[in-house]
Structure 1
């Protein structure tokens, strides 16, 4: 795996850390000040990361099979052109995302671990449709024809980076709860109001990265 590809994948992973839903649920769990926060939060994050990893593995295996079947005809030119087209579309659409629409952030109805797992599943269903950096990363790894022993660890590390901000928030809250409660509550409110702005920027940057990579 080349250094250039690693830089692109790292940039996309960092963009995916801006998930309003994951951060929003994390803040909700932290600010409730209930016992067992650690077990509930890490159950939630493990659920989200596992579902994303499973999706990525499924897509990588499917795309690899399709490309192997048609490689003699296309030589992967179609993949490159498709990624370029997707980059142009994302870049263009990023300017048309309305900034005022509020985002629904799910919250658990009970304190049970089953409820937390269901919130993780709900987060995955909400985020997966707009996980543009994640799909772009899969597209780039597919176009580079990486063997499984390279893309599988890369995919796992990518999903761990996605949930890293939530882990850092938990550590910071544990150490500085007294000073962070107010700012974190304001951050939680901001996420619901400005999540579309985040999505717009993410789409724009992903589009640019795809265009640059395919050029």
Structure 2
């Protein structure tokens, strides 16, 4: 694995670490969990990491199986044109899912946060509830985990083998949940100093979660389109 690929994967993992399921929900959980029950936040984080890993292995295996079939197509001129079209489509989609656009269409930007808060309240009572919450969060985010898909695509293109790909994805998932684990550790050792900043972070992030998703989709769209254009020139 090259240094450039490793840096790209770390960058994508850190982008993934800021999503609703890997940062915002964990912050809400940290604030809502009583002292002595913080292990349930760890259960949630390990479950969502495992969900990502299992899904990533399945996607990587499928991608590697298709490389002999689609490799020449993707690098061909028509394939590059498709990449440009897909990239432009993702940029268009980013505008459509932006909360400001949705608010103009009559959608309440705070509705999603309220639904998640209700799910968290119901899940906090048992460890099994944490597992279920993580699976729900991962399933909902599966359609928008574009950084993870970009990482899988880069690993497939690097052709490092399935064993190395699996190990790399495991490290990726650990890096993805690392910021939330650090927040939990800070709360354990310095709750009186970090609770108020965490409350502000949770409120701010909840209000802007939709915008962050839109920006992520738009950025990936630009990168895909530029890669397609680069292949055409």
User: Any idea what the Cα deviations from partners look like across 1:42-95, whole Å, max 9, x if unmatched?
Assistant: 111111011110000001111111223x26x82752697355544343234334
TM-score (norm 1): 0.85
Q: How does 1:1-215 map to 2 (within 5 A)?
A: 1-68=1-68, 70=69, 74=72, 76-77=74-75, 81=80, 85-100=85-100, 101-102=109-110, 103=112, 104-105=115-116, 106-109=119-122, 110-211=124-225, 215=230
- Please, what TM-score do these two structures have when normalized by structure 2? 0.79
Alignment root-mean-square deviation, CA = 2.5
Q: Which runs of 5+ in 1 are unaligned?
A: none
List runs of 5+ in structure 2 lacking aligned partners.
Answer: 101-108
Of stretches 87-96 and 32-41 in structure 1, the one that deviates more from structure 2 is 87-96
Q: Is the 8 A contact 1:30 1:37 kept in 2?
A: no
Conservation of the 8 A alpha-carbon contact between 2:91 and 2:217: yes
Greater shift, 165-174 or 99-108, is seen at 99-108
More helix by share: 2
Cα deviation, residue 211, structure 1: 4.4
Distance 1:190 1:41 in 2: 20
